[in-house]
Amino acid sequence: MQTDVPVITITTDFGHKGPFVGVMKGVIASRAPGATVIDMTHEVPVHWPPEAGFWLARSYRYFPAGTVHVAVVDPGVGTERDILIATTDEHLFIAPDNGLLDELLHAAEAPVVYRLDDRYRDVLNLPAPSNTFHGRDIFAPVAATLAAETDRSGMILRIAKPVTEWTPGWIDPPETRAGQVRGQIITIDHFGNLISNIGAELLPGDGAPVARIAGRDIPMEETYGRAEPGKMVALVNSFGVVEIARTEGNAAATLGVSRGAPLVISLTDG
Amino acid sequence: MQTDVPVITITTDFGHKGPFVGVMKGVIASRAPGATVIDMTHEVPVHWPPEAGFWLARSYRYFPAGTVHVAVVDPGVGTERDILIATTDEHLFIAPDNGLLDELLHAAEAPVVYRLDDRYRDVLNLPAPSNTFHGRDIFAPVAATLAAETDRSGMILRIAKPVTEWTPGWIDPPETRAGQVRGQIITIDHFGNLISNIGAELLPGDGAPVARIAGRDIPMEETYGRAEPGKMVALVNSFGVVEIARTEGNAAATLGVSRGAPLVISLTDG
Amino acid sequence: MQTDVPVITITTDFGHKGPFVGVMKGVIASRAPGATVIDMTHEVPVHWPPEAGFWLARSYRYFPAGTVHVAVVDPGVGTERDILIATTDEHLFIAPDNGLLDELLHAAEAPVVYRLDDRYRDVLNLPAPSNTFHGRDIFAPVAATLAAETDRSGMILRIAKPVTEWTPGWIDPPETRAGQVRGQIITIDHFGNLISNIGAELLPGDGAPVARIAGRDIPMEETYGRAEPGKMVALVNSFGVVEIARTEGNAAATLGVSRGAPLVISLTDG
């Protein structure tokens, strides 16, 4: 399916210095004029695909069916790593085969995954790509072509081949054992909230769950707002995962915790 | 009135980490496909509505008539705070009722203000919102629906009720007394210029006004360019308020001054 | 020539605080509704036109023919400096006459350059500009008008006069002598890669070139990926200039080098 106005999202670790994201949008404007191009984020930690994959997996449903999502967090650019095209749930994803899409593909229903092959250059009439900027030379033109194309499935088969294996993710999924869930902090948002990979569906069902992080026990609440200012709270955030926050404060600064920190949820009376 | 291409601006304190603004744009793309969505800024100080309101009040006139302006600086998200919809001067504003819109509404001619009520969920066919991300779950779909709607007044009345009171602003307006004007620094821009809430219309009319800040007297000039490099100047900036700048330098760093600092304008020979 | 959907790029040193870029886009939305507006970058070093000009010269070809490129890095705003409009290669550029466009115009084939004159206000029906925000008051409306105009050449002649001279660039071009090329670091990207002004076409033709910077000799390679992690490499990057990188690391931090640092490329056996 496809919306009338093609929608493309871009997720990178390029930051905002230099014209790198802008140039990708220039290439897109040539091949899919009038498309709506949306910045998902360009502040993924440098060369760290797991965060890009984490957010993509939890964000794509908020975009129109037919959206093309491009993610370029690509420490292997210029080496022999593959590029994946995946479709699921009426959304289309393009990313390096470096584990970035693994979490999304595991959670998806019946994803279909392809590996871009060298035919793309002939079909899209592209010169040889540079060694260092595939976002501009491969990802952007492929994304724009697919976004603008009526017969997407047909176009995918002209430039890619189905695969059933891909590079696994870099982060262990949360582990449930003896009434506890063990996960980790995936990212820290602009407010200093610590966002984990522990989904609400993994929480212990009965009793009052408590989050343990950095040697502190933090009770789970339902919202920031009901706690008194300065209090640490754990809650299921709007993306369905456990988040540690400080009401009207910065949890990351308070706890001195960063990405990768372990988080354990258990029952107080367990 | 409404332009042919709906225009929506977004002002937040979300920063650029994570997909938060992007996801709001995804929701907008579903309900107002093809709309022009413009980032006003996402670098409002965290949980500080006055700066968002200050910039909105001084910027909205530069957008096409019919523009929908969404501002989400919302420390009370998840509590019982209301959401306002306001129309004035052919522009439409949506923001939490936390004082953000107060300055704009005071300055506006004949604003009409509404409070969003729970009917919006049925009318817009929306699930219950999360407790922590109303930008995605309420503000974006309401803004997109109103932006795309031909009969805006009718739609507003289906989801909101007129009100005549709202939460007052957090910052005292400038005070004029004995030929002096006392205000404060509202924000510091990327160049280190100190931007105050003292409007040009409040300046003492006769003689040579001088700005007093951080113990220094700074004469008012007409432009940066006519002062010698390194010189501190005070001027009425392009948004009609007094600004303290250092020619080819950074006034904030030089003075060691930050947001909230008092600024007094008086006449040298007063 | 002109695309069906007008495309406008914006390059500034405004950063992301405050509504400055957003307001420019508001003005554009009024005069060129539905245009695609692309942020090239807003993180050009404050008041440093050479970096804006460097990126524009190397990026514009990736945008559709007919794109209008606006660059506002303008330390002389409010003084008597001129504004240039330039056309080359089916692209159109608008920038202050402060050297920003010099590199681009030197490299371009048969550029045609104009100086904006005061007729623009009558033709575009604009009020007197502020002294401090020509991005909003002049650059944005001129760019949008030209982007939306079918007869661009005619419109340019109504608001500007041809010129054959303009302010020279601020950075010396690379110097070739005795088999060596001497240039400098123009900018450092988000990854810490050092990007120089030495184009691939200037490299010594035979033998193995070595880059000398900060007292170190760094061999030139073809891609980041083939070097072992942590190794310093020099390569021709995707914009055709020599770049110093550290594989899976940050070259700028490692070398302690910043913008302006000299870089010499020579042959090991030269």
Q: What is the pLDDT of residue A201?
A: 93
| Cα–Cα distance for residue pair A23/C59, rounded to 1 Å | 7
Q: Point out the residue among A33, A47, A76 whose CB comes nearest to the CB of C5.
A: A33
Looking at the complex, report in whole angstroms how far the Cα of residue C247 sits from the nearest Cα belonging to chain A. 9
Residues of chain C neighbouring B223 (CB-CB closer than 8 A) = 77-79, 131-132
* C-alpha torsion angle, residues B147, B153, B159, B162 (rounded to 10): 130
- pTM of the predicted protein model: 0.96
Q: How is C150-163 classified by DSSP, letter by letter?
A: S-HHHHHHHHEEEE
The answer, yes or no, to whether residue A15 has pLDDT greater than 50, is yes
Q: Point out the residue among A5, A191, A237 whose CB comes nearest to the CB of B46.
A: A191
Q: Does C78 touch chain B (CB under 8 A)?
A: yes
- Tell me the mean pLDDT in the region A124-152: 97
- Tell me the mean pLDDT in the region A153-167: 97
| Cα–Cα distance for residue pair A27/A33, rounded to 1 Å | 10
Q: Does B223 touch chain C (CB under 8 A)?
A: yes
The token duo for B70 is 């969404």
Q: Which of A5, A21, A25, A79 to mutate to test the interface with C (most CBs of C within 10 A)?
A: A25
- State the amino acid at position C85 in one-letter form: I
Q: Decide if B223 and C131 are in contact by the 8 Å CB cutoff.
A: yes
Q: Which helix (H) or strand (E) holds A94?
A: strand A91-96
In sequence order, what are the residues at sequence separation of 6 or more whose Cβ sits closer than 8 angstroms to the Cβ of residue A190?
B13, B14, B15, B16, B17, B18, B20, B46
Q: Does A11 touch chain B (CB under 8 A)?
A: yes
Q: Does C26 touch chain B (CB under 8 A)?
A: yes
Q: What is the pLDDT of residue A257?
A: 93
Q: Are B35 and B63 in contact (CB under 8 A)?
A: no
Q: What are phi and psi of B17, to 5 degrees?
A: -80, 140
| Cα–Cα distance for residue pair C14/C41, rounded to 1 Å | 9
Q: What is the pLDDT of residue C2?
A: 42
Q: Decide if A29 and C42 are in contact by the 8 Å CB cutoff.
A: no
Nearest CA in chain C to A19: C40
Below-70 pLDDT ranges, chain B:
1-3, 223-227, 269-270
- Tell me the mean pLDDT in the region A146-174: 97
Q: Does A38 touch chain C (CB under 8 A)?
A: no
Q: Does A229 touch chain B (CB under 8 A)?
A: no
Q: Which of A72, A132, A139 to mutate to test the interface with C (most CBs of C within 10 A)?
A: A132
pLDDT in tens, A213-243: 999 999 998 766 666 888 999 999 999 999 9
Residues of chain B neighbouring C79 (CB-CB closer than 8 A) = 223, 225-226
Q: Decide if C30 and B63 are in contact by the 8 Å CB cutoff.
A: yes
| Cα–Cα distance for residue pair B75/A230, rounded to 1 Å | 13
Tell which wins on pLDDT, C248 or C31: C31
Residues within 8 A of C (CB atoms), B 102-161 only: none
Looking at the complex, report in whole angstroms how far the Cα of residue C128 sits from the nearest Cα belonging to chain A. 32
Q: What is the pLDDT of residue C224?
A: 66
Q: Point out the residue among B18, B75, B137 whose CB comes nearest to the CB of A189.
A: B18
The answer, yes or no, to whether residue C56 has pLDDT greater than 90, is yes
Q: Does A79 touch chain C (CB under 8 A)?
A: yes
Residues of chain A neighbouring B30 (CB-CB closer than 8 A) = 63-64
Nearest CA in chain A to B24: A62
pLDDT in tens, A76-110: 888 889 999 999 999 999 999 999 999 999 999 89
Q: What is the pLDDT of residue B225?
A: 62
Q: Decide if C38 and A29 are in contact by the 8 Å CB cutoff.
A: yes
| Cα–Cα distance for residue pair A46/A42, rounded to 1 Å | 10
Residues of chain B neighbouring A64 (CB-CB closer than 8 A) = 26, 29-30, 33
Q: What is the CA radius of gyration of chain A?
A: 20
Q: Point out the residue among A23, A79, A132 whose CB comes nearest to the CB of C62.
A: A23
Q: Are A119 and A52 in contact (CB under 8 A)?
A: no
Share of chain C above pLDDT 70, in %: 96
Q: What is the CA radius of gyration of chain C?
A: 20
Q: Which helix (H) or strand (E) holds B53?
A: helix B49-59
Q: Which helix (H) or strand (E) holds B155?
A: helix B152-159
Q: Decide if B26 and A7 are in contact by the 8 Å CB cutoff.
A: yes
- Backbone CA torsion sign across A142, A143, A146, A147: negative
Q: Which helix (H) or strand (E) holds A71?
A: strand A68-72
Q: Decide if B23 and A191 are in contact by the 8 Å CB cutoff.
A: no
Q: Chains contacting B with at least 3 CB pairs below 8 Å?
A: A, C
Q: Per-residue b/e over B203-223, b at no fewer than 16 CB within 10 Å? A: bbeeeebbbbbbeeebebbeb
| Cα–Cα distance for residue pair A75/A13, rounded to 1 Å | 10
Q: Per-residue b/e over B58-75, b at no fewer than 16 CB within 10 Å? A: bbbebbbebbbbbbbbbb
Q: How is B10-24 classified by DSSP, letter by letter?
A: EEES--SSSSHHHHH
Q: Does B35 touch chain C (CB under 8 A)?
A: no
pLDDT in tens, C135-173: 999 999 999 999 999 999 999 999 999 999 999 999 999
Q: Decide if B132 and A237 are in contact by the 8 Å CB cutoff.
A: yes
Residues of chain C neighbouring B63 (CB-CB closer than 8 A) = 23, 26, 29-30
How many CB atoms within 10 Å of residue B260? 10
Looking at the complex, report in whole angstroms how far the Cα of residue C25 sits from the nearest Cα belonging to chain B. 7
Q: Point out the residue among B55, B190, B225 whose CB comes nearest to the CB of C78.
A: B225
Exposure on the CB side of residue C107, measured as CA atoms within 13 A: 18
Q: What is the pLDDT of residue B14?
A: 98
Residues of chain A neighbouring C235 (CB-CB closer than 8 A) = 131-132
Q: Regarding beta strands C262-267 and C180-188, do their DSSP bridges make them parallel or antiparallel, or are they unpaired?
A: antiparallel
Q: Decide if A18 and C43 are in contact by the 8 Å CB cutoff.
A: yes
Q: Point out the residue among B18, B25, B33 whose CB comes nearest to the CB of A55.
A: B18
Q: Does A196 touch chain B (CB under 8 A)?
A: no
Q: Does B46 touch chain C (CB under 8 A)?
A: no
Q: Does A52 touch chain B (CB under 8 A)?
A: no
Q: Point out the residue among C17, C47, C136 whose CB comes nearest to the CB of B189.
A: C17
Summary mean pLDDT of chain A = 94
The answer, yes or no, to whether residue A166 has pLDDT greater than 50, is yes
Nearest CA in chain B to C81: B225
Q: What does the H/E/C string look like for C62-121?
A: HCCCCCEEEEECCCCCCCCCCEEEEEECCEEEEEECCCCCHHHHHHCCCCEEEEECCHHH
Q: Does A45 touch chain C (CB under 8 A)?
A: no
Q: Does B191 touch chain C (CB under 8 A)?
A: yes
How many CB atoms within 10 Å of residue B177? 7
pLDDT in tens, C87-102: 999 999 999 999 999 9
Q: Does B66 touch chain C (CB under 8 A)?
A: no
**Residues forming beta bridges with residue A112, ordered by sequence position:** A87
Residues of chain C neighbouring B190 (CB-CB closer than 8 A) = 13-18, 20, 46
Q: Point out the residue among B47, B79, B133 whose CB comes nearest to the CB of A238.
A: B133
Q: What is the pLDDT of residue B250?
A: 95
Q: Decide if B62 and C26 are in contact by the 8 Å CB cutoff.
A: yes
The answer, yes or no, to whether residue A3 has pLDDT greater than 70, is no
| Cα–Cα distance for residue pair C218/A232, rounded to 1 Å | 50
Closest CA to B88 of B102, B117, B71, B109: B109
Looking at the complex, report in whole angstroms how far the Cα of residue B126 sits from the nearest Cα belonging to chain A. 12
